[in-house]
Chain A
Amino acid sequence: MVDSVNNYSRQVFLPLESRVTDVERFYADQRDGVFRYLRRIVGGPDAARDLTQEVFLRVSRAGMPDASEVGRRAWVFKIARNLALNHVRNGHRRPTPVELGEIVVPATQELSIAMRTAIEALPVLDRDVFLLREMTGLSYEEIATACEVTIETVRSRLHQARQALRAALGPALGVREQRGVRCIAPHRDRDRYDS
């Protein structure tokens, strides 16, 4: 009797526990990237937090797909992107208020504000491709899967986005250039796993 109960417990609980652990580990790796991406699209930290929560609730409900780490990452950002687009489409977007007024803004902050404005002005796909590349460190292949486009489209859209940002931020980039330049990789939350 006791053995049968234990066997039943194993059958009922172990798959669930392993699934939750898998999702939690994956969540810990991807949480910040998803949040940053959503924050830029939906405009405010509160909505981005809610949507980040929603993304991982959906992930936990659906279960992790039998795919590589790359495939899973692309899948999560695809969910995040669809949620964000629906959120914006439903008119929930509240842009972060930026009051320039008479406040003296430091040069770095000025670039930050200008960059945010320029990113918001990009076409949706260009913006998403750029954010997924620079803020989450997704590869071209992952971005293509997340945005449901080809890799060639990713290349061209990324180039267009950078050209547009460069044109919009020209003076601010010039100021920054005086401080010098260094070679840096895009932000990646998963560096510790790739090494």
Chain B
Amino acid sequence: MDGFAVIDAFVDGERVDAAALKHALSEPAGRDYLVDLWLLREGVQEEMKADTAAPPVTLPTRSPRNWLYAAAMFVCLVGGYAIGYQMSGPGSPPAPVTPPVTASQPASPAPAPAPLAAPVPTRVITVQFAADTTSGGGD
């Protein structure tokens, strides 16, 4: 780094050693450097004017939509419960539990259940008594 760095710092608003600055500016090259720094800065700033503006940024905020979704879900749950409660009635006995119908059962209607009775016999066994051997004589 040459002795002109003090000119850079001076141009940038930094506190510099006065003697070093005087010494740097005592040379023609130092004065040329100072002028070129101003010209360079002016050129940069003119170029910046050509830039388009930065876009507005949408920062993430907590949207009320989430709260609406949650509220709608809550209303559906509570409403469904209330409607179901009213339909069944508060004092009515519980509905009979029907067995679930499985898909494997045939589509034809099931026969009506028969009244409770003894089943029809499938085979009749006739008992034939032999001659009474105990009531006769004989010793």
Contacts and interface: CB of A to CB of B under 8 A. Distances in A.
Interface stretch (A24-32, A85-93, A97-105): A24-32
Contact of A112 (B4, B9, B14, B43): B43
A134 B44 contact: yes
Contacts of B103: none
Q: Is the interface of A mostly helix, strand, loop or mixed?
A: helix
A13 B67 CA distance: 13
A108 B1 contact: no
A191 interface: no
Contact of B40 (A52, A53, A169): A169
B3 to A, nearest CB: 10
Given A155-B5, A159-B1, A20 B47 contact: no
A83 interface: no
Interface string B113-128: 0000000000000000
Interface residues of A, number: 50
Interface string B92-122: 0000000000000000000000000000000
Nearest to A55: B57
B87 interface: no
A115 B44 contact: yes
A42 interface: no
B38 A182 contact: yes
Interface string A17-51: 00010011001000110111001000001001100
Interface string B17-44: 0000000000000000101111111111
Contacts of B41: 134, 184, 186
A57 B1 contact: no
Contact of A56 (B8, B35, B38, B59): B59
Given A162-B40, A186-B41, A187-B48, 17 more contacts: A31-B57, A57-B60, A60-B59, A111-B46, A115-B40, A116-B47, A140-B14, A155-B8, A155-B9, A160-B1, A172-B43, A176-B39, A177-B39, A182-B42, A183-B38, A184-B45, A185-B13
Rank and list the top 5 A-B pairs by shortest CB-CB distance, nearest first.
A35-B54, A112-B47, A49-B55, A31-B54, A159-B5
